[in-house]
Amino acid sequence: MSARFRQLFASGLLTLGSVLGALPMAAEAEAAGLDNRYQLSTESGYTERMSREIEPFFQKTRQEGRFIGVRGTRIAYATFIHPQEQGAIVLVSGRTESYLKYKEMVYDLYRQGYSVYMHDHRGQGLSERLLDDREKGYVEQFSDYVEDLDIFVRSIVLSRSHERLFLLTHSMGGGVGTLYIEKYPDVFRAAALSSPMHAPNAKILSSAEDGCQWFKSAEGLCKDCYAGLLPRPYKTKVYKGNDYTSSEVRFQEFRDVYENNPPIRLGGATRHWVAESCRASDQLIANAGKIRIPVLVLQAGEDTAVTPEAQNAFCKSLADQTGKTCLSGKPVRFEGAQHELFIEADRFRIPALNLILDFLAAY
């Protein structure tokens, strides 16, 4: 039994039932040659574990609410308060997402003693949509996401006392979170950014060599048109050939969440959303020197949604302006992994979460 395991058991954060439930996960990971020192959920027995453990946990522990964001937009949120909290995490999700997608992730974080706070970005999930066509991804200003996050943090998260408060993000949430810690540098102890959108991969939506420049110049022709050559309303996706994850069971789970909850569905981004995201990318790289807290950046080697070049540029800008670097000096790259590290196959997800949890534990 590891020292960390003994400490959690002695503190009451692990019960006999949770220990017995974790033993198969540890054995499965060990058999696959993985170090599952945090007893994270695994793909083996995944469907049964979701129905037997994770779904009941999510329903029992979740407290939901709404707050008013900037421009009067109604924002949905959920909290998962640990009775013996060792720290708290604000988890900021990506484009198209809802907190309903993050059941396994919240479960794994909670079992380490963390309270978890999440909100659905404006224009998606269970939050208020911004266009008559609710399936179009749109935001008036990218900074609206940042200010919504600040309202959430100050009115909901900080309504309770937290000795250790961290930021954890995915994809677009990484762009939002980076801008946040640049503008509000003293709120969080540390930030871990998984596949952060330090620039969207605009090239896949435009034939132009510089996709971002094209969208910034062309958005005025039709702000709320779908980006790309064809309309992209919501549609069911299949695992084969997907760009998200190499874990079929986790892929199917996240698709089932969307199919079973029609209000959270979202289609493609609009031209204006892409242009705003590109402008935000320029800003967050230029202003990296305003960051005062430790930052960890995780990079997926087979990412097609966001650009690794921008993640590299962010870490370089941080080092050039502050003399401090991203942990390890540059993004930690997971060769072979796709965009969604939080729902990737165990061989990527477990090492990624080990790194994140080690990083948070250090602060």
pLDDT for 25: 57
pLDDT band at 229 (very low <50, low <70, confident <90, very high): low
pLDDT for 8: 39
pLDDT band at 209 (very low <50, low <70, confident <90, very high): low
Evaluate if residue 154 carries a pLDDT over 70.
yes
Evaluate if residue 230 carries a pLDDT over 70.
no
Evaluate if residue 216 carries a pLDDT over 60.
yes
| CATH architecture of residue range(s) 63-361 | 3-Layer(aba) Sandwich (3.40)
Q: Residue range 203-230: average pLDDT?
A: 77
Query: Under a CB-based contact definition with an 8 Å cutoff, are residues 142 and 181 in contact?
Result: no
pLDDT band at 213 (very low <50, low <70, confident <90, very high): confident
Q: Rounded to an integer, what distance in angstroms lies between the CA atom of residue 90 and that of residue 157?
A: 8
Q: Residue range 314-333: average pLDDT?
A: 94
pLDDT for 12: 40
pLDDT band at 342 (very low <50, low <70, confident <90, very high): very high
Q: Residue range 333-338: average pLDDT?
A: 98
pLDDT for 14: 37
When computed from its CA atoms, the radius of gyration of the chain, rounded to whole angstroms, is: 20
What is the per-residue burial (b if ≥16 Cβ within 10 Å, else e) of 259-285? eeeeebbbbbbbbbbbbbbbbbbebbb
Decide which of 30 and 107 is more confident: 107
Query: Under a CB-based contact definition with an 8 Å cutoff, are residues 201 and 311 in contact?
Result: no
Evaluate if residue 26 carries a pLDDT over 70.
no
Structure tokens at 210: 């510089």
Evaluate if residue 31 carries a pLDDT over 70.
no
Q: How confident is the prediction for the chain on average, in pLDDT?
A: 91
Cβ neighbours around 226 below 10 Å, total? 22
Least confident range from 14-23, 66-75, 223-232: namely 14-23
pLDDT digits (tens, 9 = 90+) for 156-168: 999 999 999 999 9
Evaluate if residue 2 carries a pLDDT over 60.
no
pLDDT for 181: 98
Q: Rounded to an integer, what distance in angstroms lies between the CA atom of residue 59 and that of residue 31?
A: 31
Q: In Å, how far are 39, 163, 282 from 189, measured between CA atoms? A: 25, 10, 25
pLDDT digits (tens, 9 = 90+) for 32-56: 689 999 999 999 999 999 999 999 9
In degrees and rounded to multiples of 5, residue 297 shows phi and psi of -120, 125
pLDDT band at 20 (very low <50, low <70, confident <90, very high): very low
Q: Residue range 193-199: average pLDDT?
A: 98
Q: Is 73 helix (H, G, I), strand (E, B) or coil?
A: coil
What is the per-residue burial (b if ≥16 Cβ within 10 Å, else e) of 22-48? beebbebbeeeebebebbbbbbbebee
Cβ neighbours around 20 below 10 Å, total? 9
Least confident range from 116-130, 136-150, 247-261, 317-331: namely 317-331
pLDDT band at 4 (very low <50, low <70, confident <90, very high): very low
Evaluate if residue 21 carries a pLDDT over 60.
no
